[in-house]
Amino acid sequence: MGYVIQHSHNFVSYETQNLIKKATFHPVVSGLRLKTIIAVLALVIIVVSVGLLLTLANVPGAPRQSSVTIQDMSGRSIVLSLPVSRVVILNSYWNEIASTLGVSEKIVGIDKYTLSSVYVPKVVKERPVVGDLFSGVNLETILSLKPDAVIMDFGYGKTADIVKSLESIGVPVICMYSNNFNDQLNAIRLLGKVFGVEARADSLINFLEIRHSIIVATASKIPDSERPTVLLCRVEKDGLLTAYANSTWGKIVEDIGGINIALRNSPNQAWPKINLETLLAWDPEIIIIVGYDNLGIQSQLDLIMKSSVWNNLKAVKESRVYTVLIGSRTEGAYLDWGPRMLIGEMKLAKIVQPKYFGDLNVDVVSDMLFSTYYTQ
């Protein structure tokens, strides 16, 4: 402290001398003024270097007791003590899975988008919001929540920087990933291990895996001649369609015995945009329009039904246009990450292959899933 005060005095006396000289607006000052700037800069640089030195000196962090090494879904090895008791989770679906595993009280911080999920318990949504993966997180808020770990997606937005920053302040980060049903099961398994609730995780995995494998097995036996062409899509405000091609939902269409026409045409794109002419050329037998809520779906329908090609489409003529809710904003939306994905998959199966899956009782499975795992 004394060090800096001394410096400030130097500045003042220095400038006071200038002031006397400058009283008649004499220019020597300009040279000295530059020195002042350099002096200020020098001080800033000194502070920076001191900070750097201190942080470098402090790198060896406080040793943790009984720490284990786990591998997260990005392939990184993380050292932390298990099970964790305080966790910040930065995606709504990992919050949802953690809650179905019965550990919602261990979630101490969440991201902005979790607030809009109706499948995350209220108690979790009352936790402090620390930011989100796109605009960034408040590192100090996270630190003040004293988490044992932060759980989050990786590979987009500011995730790389967030991981780097969190690790630099000694907070372990567990990166999660999901691109298909099996990833979901692996994610549930990993979270079960992290929270020390392996048994419950296994039972949930069993519940999902059995039903999923039956559907896939059944669908695999359907002959090609009985597989309809399907377009799973959103209608954008500009009138174009965003199709689900090489994406999780897009691939589910194939798993349940449909031919995903967008995937067949653009095998390398996740969400290709198509215009009405392409739609007419593809002329799928089944069109499934997805949306986050009923209002959104209705306005999508209004928009597409106004178009000239609509009534010429095979799916329209044969009344095989369906709407499906996705995401987590609305009750009844099942096509999303998390255990609900099974219900979404079953519903799609019934739409695409009524002959083979018509007798699937989605409501019973849904009731079982929700009463067993979503009751917190």
Partner 1 sequence: MPHQRKSAFILLLLLPLPVFLLSLTIGSYHIPFGEVLAILFRGIDPLPNSSQTQIYRDVIFMIRLPRILLSLLGGIALSVSGASLQSVFKNPLVDSYILGLSAGAGLGAALAIAFLPNFVGLTQLFAFSFSFLAFMLTYFVARDRGQASTVSLVLAGVIVTALFSAALSMIKFFTSSEKLSSVVYWLMGSMAVSGWDEVLQSGPLIIFAFIIISLMRWRLNVLSMGDEEAKSLGINVERDRLVILITTTLMVSSFVSVSGIIGWVGLVVPHLVRMLMGTPDNRIVIPISASLGGVFLLLADDVARSLTSYELPVGVITTIIGAPFFLYLLRRRGGGSWRQ
Partner 2 sequence: METIVSVEDLSFSYGGTFKLNSISLNVSAGTVLTLLGPNGCGKTTLLKCINALLKPESGRVVISGRNAHELRRWELARLVGYVPQAHVPPFPYSTLDLVLMGRTAHLDFFQQPSNLDYKIAEKALSMVGLDHLKHRPYDQLSGGERQLALIARAIAQEPKLLLLDEPTAHLDFKNQFLVLSMVKRIARENGIGVIMSLHDPNHAILFSDTVALMKNGSIFAVGPSHLVITKEKIETVYEISVRVINQTNGFLVAPSMENFS
Find the shortest distance in angstroms from Cβ 30 to partner 2: 4
Which is nearer to partner 2, 33 or 158 (by Cβ)? 33
Q: How far apart are CA 230 and CA 248, in angstroms?
A: 15
Positions touching partner 1 (CB under 8 A) are: 1, 3-4, 8, 11-12, 15, 18-19, 22-25, 30, 33-34, 36-38, 40-41, 43-45, 47-48, 50-55, 58, 61-62, 112, 128-132, 134-141, 143-144, 154-162, 164-165, 168-170, 242, 270-271, 273
Residue 28 interacts with, from partner 2, partner 1, none (CB under 5-8 Å by kind): partner 2
Which is nearer to partner 1, 7 or 314 (by Cβ)? 7
Residues 6+ apart with CB under 8 A from 97: 187, 188, 191, 338, 339
Residue 36 interacts with, from partner 1, partner 2, none (CB under 5-8 Å by kind): partner 1
Which is nearer to partner 2, 30 or 138 (by Cβ)? 30
Find the shortest distance in angstroms from Cβ 103 to partner 1: 22
Number of residues that bind partner 2 (CB under 8 A): 7
Sign of CA dihedral 325, 330, 334, 338: positive
Residue with tokens 């979270």: 191
Which is nearer to partner 2, 34 or 44 (by Cβ)? 34
Find the shortest distance in angstroms from Cβ 136 to partner 2: 39
Tokens of 7: 């410096």
Q: What is the DSSP letter of 129?
A: B
Helix axes 198-220, 181-195, angle to 10 degrees: 170
Contact yes or no for 310/325 (Cβ under 8 A)? no
Which is nearer to partner 2, 9 or 35 (by Cβ)? 35
Helix axes 341-352, 248-255, angle to 10 degrees: 50
Residue 105 interacts with, from partner 2, partner 1, none (CB under 5-8 Å by kind): none
Residue with tokens 């090895």: 77
The yes or no reply on residue 12 touching partner 2 (CB under 8 A) is no
Find the shortest distance in angstroms from Cβ 163 to partner 1: 8
Tokens of 180: 């298909």
Give, in degrees to the nearest 5, the angle at Cα 375 between 205 and 92: 70
13-72 binders of partner 2 (CB under 8 A): 25-28, 30-31, 34
Residue 31 interacts with, from partner 2, partner 1, none (CB under 5-8 Å by kind): partner 2
Residues 6+ apart with CB under 8 A from 195: 83, 84, 87, 98, 101, 103, 106
Phi-psi region of 102 (alpha: psi -120 to 50; beta: other; left: phi over 0): left
Residue 210 interacts with, from partner 2, partner 1, none (CB under 5-8 Å by kind): none
Which is nearer to partner 1, 136 or 196 (by Cβ)? 136
Give the footprint of partner 2 on this chain (CB under 8 A): 25-28, 30-31, 34
